[in-house]
Amino acid sequence: MWDVRAYRTPDRRRSTARIFGAVLLPCALLLSACSADQPAPTASPRASQAESSYTAPPATETAPLRGTSVPTGSLAHPSLAAKIDNHEAARPQFGLERTDVVFEELVEGGLTRYVAVWHSDIPDVVGPIRSIRPMDPDIIAPLGGIVAYSGGQQQFIDLMTRTSVVNAAFDSDETGLFSRTGEREAPHNVVLQSKALVDRNDTVPAPSQQFAYAATVPESSATVDGTPVTTISSRFSDSRWPDWTWDAASTSYLRNQEGAPDLDAGGVQLRSTNVLALRVEIDDTYLNVPKTTMIGSGEAWVSAGGKTVHALWTKAAQDAPIRLTDDNGVTIRLAAGNTWIELVPVDRGSVTLVP
């Protein structure tokens, strides 16, 4: 007899396989058709347009004498330091409002003069230009660049020319860029075509950074760690007592001399983001010509943002910059902006801070 079960089982399996295959084939064909009809992914027009219109921001660097952010390469020129007159007959001076740094120093007769330094913003004309003094090489040498002055004792000129700084002197002028203006009387009338002088020396390197800087006034060491001070008064002698008053509206200090506003040539009061008062020794080696001792150390006060922090200043060598540290030995950061430095004698001057 035939075994019915053994006979039917193969047919049932083959039948099932045929049905299963029939079901899969249309699905496979359907998937293939769907895949063929699907377009390849492409970037959206909006994204492509955004990518093509993107412009990278310009590269920036820190201005070495201001701490501000400037386009890379925009300050690839030397600094100019000039001896600027501060006699009453020389006021208002030309270009002081555009300086990066100004040093005020004691000279003969209890008067003061400036070593004014321009780099970020160089005017067409600066002055009145006066003669060199024995401390000037120590002040200017760390900057490199150019120094402009109108003569001086030969021993002081020799000290200046022995530095690496490019010397430009009115008394031996070969540039043709010094002249006397009819607006003032001699000797307070020598002026310099400063922009032209810098342009002629454009291969001289830019200065190195002299101080540590914070990006903003609120981030400066004085503002963060200092105490509120409204006025910084420095007395050099009975003839010279400049002071600086905090002006919150302009986030800067306004300058006065001998109790009156100190104005620029446009009639605007001179101002500074940072005010440094450094106590310095006076060397009387040159008899009636006082020499501010710059290589060494001393007490200092650093002001920014309406506050003042006590400090120590040090300068290791002629070519070395001034270093500022707080009472904990931490490097002080100035606020980004311009700086005035009062070099106040220890033995004959004073610094008064008014809350």
pLDDT one-digit tens code per residue, 188-231 = 999 999 999 999 999 999 999 999 999 999 999 999 999 999 99
pLDDT (average), residues 109-136: 98
Q: What is the predicted pLDDT for the residue at 15?
A: 38
Mean pLDDT for the chain overall: 89
Q: How far is residue 37's CA from residue 81's CA, in Å, rounded to a whole number?
A: 76
User: Minimal CA–CA distance to 125: which of 162, 161, 93, 78?
Assistant: 93
Q: What is the predicted pLDDT for the residue at 166?
A: 98
Q: What is the predicted pLDDT for the residue at 250?
A: 96
Residue 54: phi and psi, rounded to 5, are: -70, 130
CA distances from 256 to 67, 246, 271, 337, 344 (A): 25, 11, 9, 19, 16
Cβ count near 323 (within 10 Å): 17
For domain 69-354, give the CATH superfamily.
YerB-like (3.50.90.10)
Query: Which residues, at least 6 apart from 249, have a Cβ–Cβ distance to it below 8 Å?
Result: none
Confidence of residue 167 (pLDDT cuts 50, 70, 90): very high
Confidence of residue 58 (pLDDT cuts 50, 70, 90): confident
Residue 299 in this model has a pLDDT that exceeds 60: yes
Q: Do residues 306 and 283 lie in contact, with contact meaning Cβ atoms separated by under 8 Å?
A: no
CA-angle at 286, arms to 288 and 149, nearest 5°: 85
Residue 54 in this model has a pLDDT that exceeds 70: yes
pLDDT one-digit tens code per residue, 260-279 = 999 999 999 999 999 999 99
pLDDT (average), residues 338-351: 97
Q: How far is residue 134's CA from residue 143's CA, in Å, rounded to a whole number?
A: 17
Confidence of residue 57 (pLDDT cuts 50, 70, 90): confident
Q: Do residues 104 and 342 lie in contact, with contact meaning Cβ atoms separated by under 8 Å?
A: yes
Alpha helices in the chain (DSSP H): 4-37, 45-53, 136-140, 154-161, 194-200, 221-225
Q: What is the predicted pLDDT for the residue at 28?
A: 38
Q: What is the predicted pLDDT for the residue at 160?
A: 98
Q: What is the dihedral of CA 84, 242, 325, 333, to 10 degrees?
A: -70
pLDDT one-digit tens code per residue, 14-50 = 333 333 333 333 333 333 444 445 555 555 555 555 5
Answer whether the bond into residue 218 is a cis peptide, omega within 30°. Answer: no
Q: How far is CA 214 from the centre of its chain?
A: 10
Q: What is the predicted pLDDT for the residue at 46?
A: 59
Q: What is the predicted pLDDT for the residue at 56?
A: 81
